Amino acid sequence: MKQYATITVIGRDKTGVIARVTNFLFEQHANIEALEEQVTRGQFSMTLQASWPKKNFDAAALRAGLQNLAVQLGMEIKVRFTEPGRRQRFAIFVTKEPQCFETIAKAVAKKSIVADPAIVIGNHASFEPLAKKFRLPFICVPWEDRANAELKALKILEEHEVDFVVLARFMKILSPNFVWRYKNKIINIHPSLLPSFPGPQAYRQAYEHGVKIAGCTAHFVNMHLDDGPIIAQGSFQIRPAMTLPEIIATGQKLEAQVLLKAVKRYLSKKLDVHWGTVNEV
C-alpha cells in the first residue's frame, strides 16, 4: 500500500527551487511520479505528484518540512493527500446563464459524469435557487474586487478539496494568480470556434462579420484570454437572414453539449496537453 500526495509550488522564479523541493522529498523517502513546471513572466509554478510506502510515511514531518521550505524560498507550497482511484471532485463557476449549468447538473444526476460536484460558486446570489433545485451547495462570491474574490474562491476550493473547475458561462476573467494553481484543470466554454472571435461578444462579432459557420469551443484556461488548449468544439450553420438572437439561442444550446463533452473527456484521463495542444492518448 502507498500514500499519495500532490504538492504545488508557486512564487517568483528563482534558481534551485526544483532541486530544493525534490531533495527534501528524497529525504522523506518519497518517489516522485510526475512533475510539471513552468515559468511565465517571472512567475514559477510547479505541480508534483509523489508516493510513499505506508511504513515510510510521516504526514506531520512532511507538512512541517514543506512549510519550513516555503518560508526559506519565499514561496507558497501546499500539499494535498490523495488516493488512487478516488472520484474527482469539481467546482462549477456560474454567473447568470443557466444552460451550461443545467446540462452539467442533469448529467451528474443521471450519473453520466463520474465525478462529484463539490460546490457551485457564483458571482450573483440570484443563481442560488437553481443550484438548490439540483441539491448542490452554492456560495455567492461578489466579483467587484477581483483580487479579494479570487482569494476567497481559492480558499473555498481548498476547503472542498476540489480537483478541477468547470466554468459554466462564468463571465469573469481569472487572473494568472488563480489559473497557475489549477493548470489544465479549469475547463471553460467560449461561444466561438477559437481562435476566431475571442472576448465577450463572440456571437455579435460572428454576426457582424457575416460568417456562415459559427460554434463554440471548450478549452483549458491559461494565462491568455480565450487561448487555452482546445478540448472539444461544435459548430452550426448560420442560415440566411438568421438574426443575432437566433444565433445566440442556437449557440447556447450547443455550448452546453460541448462543455459536457469536454468534462467527460477530461475525466476519461486520456487527455495529454503538450506544447499547448490537447491530444488523446
State which residues form the domain around 272. 90-280
pLDDT at 201: 84
| Residue 139 grid cell | 456560495
**Domains contained in the chain, number:** 2
Edge-first strand listing for the sheet containing 2-12 = 31-40, 43-53, 2-12, 76-82
DSSP structural state of residue 112: -
CATH assignment of the domain containing 192: 3.40.50.170
Same domain for 180 and 99: yes
Distance CA 217, CA 144 (A): 27
Q: Tell whether the torsion through CA atoms of 215, 91, 79 and 74 is positive or negative.
A: positive
**Known catalytic membership, residue 226:** yes
Same domain for 216 and 115: yes
Same domain for 105 and 126: yes
Q: What are phi and psi of 114, to 5 degrees?
A: -90, 70
Where does a domain end: 64, 82, 100? Answer: 82
Under 8 Å CB-to-CB from 189, ≥6 apart: which residues? 100, 167, 168, 169, 216, 217, 218, 255, 258, 259, 262
Q: Which of 116, 145, 163, 226 is catalytic?
A: 226
Same domain for 183 and 95: yes
Counting as low any pLDDT under 70, the low residues of the chain are 84, 271-277, 279, 281
CA dihedral 34→151→66→222, nearest 10 degrees, is 20
Q: Report in angstroms the alpha-carbon separations of 31 from 72, 135, 235, 248.
A: 23, 40, 45, 50
pLDDT at 274: 56
Same domain for 217 and 147: yes
Pick from 152, 144, 136, 115: nearest CA to 265: 115
Residue 75 DSSP SS3: coil
DSSP structural state of residue 141: -
Same domain for 233 and 186: yes
Residue 160 DSSP SS3: coil
Distance CA 274, CA 262 (A): 17
Distance CA 255, CA 193 (A): 11
Same domain for 117 and 31: no
Distance CA 36, CA 49 (A): 9
